[in-house]
Structure 1
Amino acid sequence: MIYTNVTRMKSFFILGFPGLSQPYYGPVSALFFFIYLAIAIGNIFILAFVMCEKSLQKPTYLVFCHLALNDLTFGTVTLPKIISKYWFDESLISFYGCFTQMFFVHYLGSAQSFILLVMALDRFIAICIPLRYPVLITNNIISVLCGFAWFIPVSLMVTIVLHTLTLPFCKDNVIAQCYCDHISITRQACGEDVIIVQVTTLVMAMFSLLLPLAFILFSYISIIVVILKMSNATGRKKTLSTCTPQIFITCLFYLPRCFVYVANTIGFAFSLDIRILLILLYSLFPAAVNPIIYCFKTQDIKQTLITKLKKTRVGIEIKLAY
């Protein structure tokens, strides 16, 4: 069927949480504001701290910087609109603004999965073939690999956006979500091509998420096997501690997504509010928590922070004594 009377929508209406009553708009917007502050302060701190400390300018921490930049960008792309909706009652987003937000939401998620792949590769070589690590993993090589992680999803996401733009939009203009994503936008479209666009997008999404995940699983399973084969208990504990932050970060990114996908596949239905909350949790919670993991689960960063704090404390005490 050809839709000849379809006019291009000028804007979309961000629904947010449909079950949320007006008196809770203020507290919810304040909560999102503090989440954004946590994401911004935490990830900017990691970027600045690693850039300023030459002792931390190593491959592992350069990967952390790329993750921090990704998390910071994702929070900046999504949260201001959610905050303005509940704080200032600004629910409208322009048609192309919505598509731009959709592009960055899915692009950043895909880029992060490839950056996590680079992080897993770093730990795999460091633990499974340690003698080759100084040759195979350098700052320049990590920078190139992370550059590819940022570059690979671009063409995929541009294809998805352009393909979706060809659809006629004949339904209401309500985005049943706190930000524009592909599922919410295509639900407003009509015509036989909607299924084709959705299937094509699903295939690309699986490529961006499952291909890196397959290598990540292989890497960490290999690492665990190597650690279990170690005869020295102290060596096992020390080696495991070097990849614990990476495992935590990877689990925070993949496990909630896998749970939602599996639940949908087996027919376990969530209410719209719960579904939106779950998506926000697995999208925003890692971005806020990752800097804490970097600081308290990474020995070098932790020790550098403690040393800096001790020096600052001694300096203050000396000034007070005079």
Structure 2
Amino acid sequence: MTYSNVTRMRSFSILGFPGLSPQYYGPASALLFFIYLVIALGNVFILAFVVYEKTLQKPIYLVFCHLALNDLTFGTVTLPKIISKYWFGDSIISFHGCFVQMFLVHYLGSVTSFILLVMALDRFVAICIPLRYPVLITNNIISVLCGFAWFIPVSLMVTVVYQALSLHYCKSNIIAQCFCDHISITSQACVAFGLAMFSLLVPLGFIIISYFIIIVAVMRISSAESRIKTLSTCTPQLLITFLYYMPRCFVYLANNVGFTFSVPVRIVVVMLYSLLPAAVNPIIYCFKTKDIKDSLKRKFLVRKVNIMQCQVCVCD
């Protein structure tokens, strides 16, 4: 479907995975629904567990909660529509609905960047100036910093959406992606428009500097055992940051050096780096964070003991 340059599009059609045979629509929708369940259950579990377990209500776990809430929201914003396309054949999204989704996609991505910056700041203070940590990093201070992480990207993303809305859309109304993002939408406009990288690259710069200083400080520790123990406290944050930034930086650099991806490959890559961190982060929290892992072990141990006691009582 095409439009003249004076015609206002009323809706967009989500392409999804191009070339996918209709016989695979069912398995594709089931897989996407499973991914959404993993994201939802995993992040809701982290939120509920930290709220329930009073010993985990510390600054770094509050940051984990903010990131879990962000991941949960991102999955809810992006996946239901593409699941609906393959499950019910409903690929149509309204014109303004597509822009709302675009705003939320890029807004939540920007929030993730700033939350990862707060994580890096927490580890920087904990390792480089540990004596000041209880004063500089408190639950209230972390809440304020995470509040800024949610607030700062708003004006930037509103500007991006407003500028995209002002363009004349005169090409196909097909969105070559599984959700509405800036590149997919503005590619249907008569004028090209580049998305600002401020919200990704500025936090990344601070994160790199922070972890560089952390590594230098750790290398100065005389005991090898102490170095490993100190670095292990950064493992969850490093893994989460790596999962979020590395694929994005690779795609960004590849585009800048002239390497282009085919549409199917680009869609798959975007889906992977958008959804994989949201699904994997709760696993990292549980298995790479000592306090959460120990709390889970205690819970399972207590439950196992209670079950054994009940069995003994029944036998008696």
Task: Give distance in 2, aligned partners of 1:216 and 1:5.
Answer: 44
Task: Give distance in 1, aligned partners of 2:234 and 2:211.
Answer: 9
Choose 296-305 or 266-275, whichever is displaced more. 266-275
Task: Give distance in 1, aligned partners of 2:208 and 2:140.
Answer: 25
Conservation of the 8 A alpha-carbon contact between 2:4 and 2:170: no
The structural deviation recorded for 1:7 is 2.0
Task: Give distance in 2, aligned partners of 1:120 and 1:309.
Answer: 31
Q: Deviations over 1:265-306 (max 9, x none)?
A: 122222111110000000000000000000000000000000
Report what 1:15 is aligned to: 15
Q: Relative to 1, partners in 2 of residues 1:275 and 1:4: Cα closer, same or farther, differing over 3 Å?
A: closer
Within the candidate set 255, 259, 283, 1:264 is matched to 255
Report what 1:248 is aligned to: 239
Conservation of the 8 A alpha-carbon contact between 2:177 and 2:184: yes
Report what 1:143 is aligned to: 143
Unpaired runs of 5+ in structure 1? none
Choose 158-167 or 110-119, whichever is displaced more. 158-167
What amino acid sits opposite 2:288 in the alignment? K
- Secondary structure of the residue aligned to 2:93 is strand
Report what 2:68 is aligned to: 68
Task: Give distance in 1, aligned partners of 2:24 and 2:128.
Answer: 52
Choose 266-275 or 248-257, whichever is displaced more. 266-275
Report what 2:223 is aligned to: 232
The structural deviation recorded for 1:106 is 0.2
Q: Percent identity?
A: 72
Report what 1:311 is aligned to: 302
Report what 2:31 is aligned to: 31
What amino acid sits opposite 1:251 in the alignment? F
The structural deviation recorded for 1:227 is 1.1
Q: Deviations over 1:40-80 (max 9, x none)?
A: 00000000000111100000000000000000000000000
- Secondary structure of the residue aligned to 1:93 is strand
Choose 305-314 or 161-170, whichever is displaced more. 161-170
What amino acid sits opposite 1:12 in the alignment? F
Are 2:177 and 1:177 aligned?
A: yes
Task: Give distance in 2, aligned partners of 1:53 and 1:240.
Answer: 25
The structural deviation recorded for 1:4 is 8.8
Are 2:270 and 1:279 aligned?
A: yes
The structural deviation recorded for 1:5 is 5.6
Q: How many residues align?
A: 311
In the superposition, the TM-score normalised over structure 2's length comes to 0.96
Task: Give distance in 2, aligned partners of 1:49 and 1:119.
Answer: 19
Report what 1:300 is aligned to: 291
Task: Give distance in 1, aligned partners of 2:172 and 2:213.
Answer: 50
Q: What is the 5 A alignment of 1:152-167?
A: 152-167=152-167
The structural deviation recorded for 1:111 is 0.5
- Secondary structure of the residue aligned to 2:178 is coil
Unpaired runs of 5+ in structure 2? none
Conservation of the 8 A alpha-carbon contact between 2:5 and 2:168: no
Report what 2:77 is aligned to: 77
What amino acid sits opposite 1:318 in the alignment? Q
What amino acid sits opposite 2:122 in the alignment? D
Task: Give distance in 2, aligned partners of 1:43 and 1:130.
Answer: 30
Task: Give distance in 1, aligned partners of 2:298 and 2:118.
Answer: 29
What amino acid sits opposite 1:119 in the alignment? M
What amino acid sits opposite 1:306 in the alignment? K
Choose 105-114 or 255-264, whichever is displaced more. 255-264
Task: Give distance in 1, aligned partners of 2:105 and 2:184.
Answer: 12
Choose 311-320 or 37-46, whichever is displaced more. 311-320
Task: Give distance in 1, aligned partners of 2:200 and 2:260.
Answer: 23
- Secondary structure of the residue aligned to 1:13 is strand
Task: Give distance in 2, aligned partners of 1:170 and 1:187.
Answer: 10
- Secondary structure of the residue aligned to 2:170 is coil
The structural deviation recorded for 1:100 is 0.5
Task: Give distance in 1, aligned partners of 2:150 and 2:5.
Answer: 40
- Secondary structure of the residue aligned to 1:12 is strand
Q: Deviations over 1:175-212 (max 9, x none)?
A: 0000000111111111xxx34xx24x32xxx2101110
Task: Give distance in 2, aligned partners of 1:247 and 1:170.
Answer: 44
